[in-house]
């Protein structure tokens, strides 16, 4: 079973790491194709180093660009490499342009496709991620759904039952494998002069938020309101693109501690010790849930519906007042939810399923 792992962004590297480890452990023939969608050291290379992953055999270096340009470049490069390598199966994870283009390339070449984290839906077609995840699911031969809810969504879209496998989410594996390492290796709390459970952590990068001045401004005002109301630090590791839009819109950020992007281990320590996380990232909604940290989602919807159902997360949108209101609600709740994303053995489970398919 020759396996191609196609990835291109920070979250994909982190969530694919347990699968790569499972492939290595089982002695399975595989290679990594990196699209280069994320291409700075802090957003890419450092994760391979920290997670002790083998280097990508190929890197397409597609960089930034419009959705069409980025997807086209990945398709062109992936076609060439997959034709030469002839893998039996291509694995992709999530909802980025790298995921969709990788799945489409393999599908059109007659190569089997496995989609890790299948069946997530926000039902908001204005989000490019929603389009990517739907199309990747419908290209896939093996759909690895993290939860029974995701499986029901796939069945409702007419995907045959025999293609769907409930596996849990590899983010549980990644957090379990790396949390103790993170605590021993990083000094981020002392570097930032913050105390455990006495600061708010922010992540904010989605284009529907940071590319729209009114939404970005309203969120920033809400974060400044948190500083005034709670009198504790608000830490925002800011993505280069978000910083660029902040400057372009001339938004004033006094009171918010803007820091450069941090690596996975540093982020894990900051996240696990936060009083509360405010985010527009789907992955961070999952991580905070697993780490038992309350979350406020700075979006109008979420595809991580399980987090809402069990009470570890709440949707605030981008209204300044709603951000404050939802923060108060989450801080009044007990952190007693049960993680819905599995037991930390998802990577091994996925590889065992594929070995069963290919080897009988």
Secondary structure string (H, E, C) spanning 183-245:
HHHCCHHHHHCCCCCCCEEEECCCHHHHCCHHHHHHHHHHHHHHHHHHCCCEEEECCHHHHHH
b/e map of 82-109 (b: 16 or more CB within 10 Å)? beeeebebbbbbbbbbbbbbbbbbbbee
Catalytic entry in 38, 115, 205, 239: 205
Q: What is the Cα–Cα distance from 351 to 347, expressed in whole angstroms?
A: 6
Q: What is the Cα–Cα distance from 56 to 85, expressed in whole angstroms?
A: 14
Q: Is 205 annotated as catalytic?
A: yes
Residue partners of 172: CB distance under 8 A and separation at least 6? 290, 339, 341, 342, 343, 344, 346
CB burial of residue 156 (10 Å; 0-12, 13-18, 19+): exposed
Catalytic residues: 205
């Amino acid at each position: 079973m020759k396996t191609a792992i196609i990835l291109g962004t920070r979250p994909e590297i982190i969530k694919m790491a347990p699968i790569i480890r499972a492939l290595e452990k089982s002695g399975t023939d595989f290679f990594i194709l990196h699209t280069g969608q994320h291409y700075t050291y802090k957003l890419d290379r450092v994760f391979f180093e920290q997670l002790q992953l083998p280097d990508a055999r190929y890197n397409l270096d597609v960089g930034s660009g419009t959705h069409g340009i980025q997807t086209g470049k990945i398709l062109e490069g992936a076609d060439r490499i997959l034709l030469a390598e002839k893998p039996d199966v291509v694995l992709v994870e999530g909802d980025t342009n790298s995921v969709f283009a990788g799945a489409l390339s393999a599908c059109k070449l007659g190569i089997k496709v496995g989609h890790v984290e299948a069946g997530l839906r926000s039902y908001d077609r204005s989000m490019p991620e929603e389009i990517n995840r739907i199309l990747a699911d419908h290209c896939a031969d093996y759909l690895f759904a993290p939860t029974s809810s995701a499986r029901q969504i796939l069945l409702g879209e007419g995907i045959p039952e025999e293609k769907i496998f409930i596996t849990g989410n590899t983010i549980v594996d990644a957090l379990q494998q790396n949390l103790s390492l993170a605590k021993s290796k990083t000094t981020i709390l002392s570097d930032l002069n913050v105390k455990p459970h006495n600061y708010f952590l922010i992540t904010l990068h989605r284009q529907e938020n940071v590319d729209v001045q009114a939404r970005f401004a309203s969120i920033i005002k809400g974060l400044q309101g948190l500083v005034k109301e709670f009198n504790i630090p608000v830490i925002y590791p800011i993505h280069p693109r978000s910083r660029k839009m902040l400057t372009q819109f001339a938004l004033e950020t006094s009171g918010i501690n803007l820091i450069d992007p941090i690596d996975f281990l540093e982020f894990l320590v900051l996240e696990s010790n936060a009083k509360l996380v405010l985010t527009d990232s789907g992955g961070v909604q999952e991580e905070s849930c697993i780490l038992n940290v309350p979350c406020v989602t700075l979006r109008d919807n979420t595809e991580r519906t399980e987090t809402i159902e069990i009470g570890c997360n709440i949707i605030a949108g981008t209204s300044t007042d709603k951000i404050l209101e939802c923060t108060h609600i989450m801080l009044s709740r007990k952190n007693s939810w049960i993680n819905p994303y599995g037991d930390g053995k998802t990577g091994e489970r996925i590889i065992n399923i594929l070995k069963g398919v290919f080897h009988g």
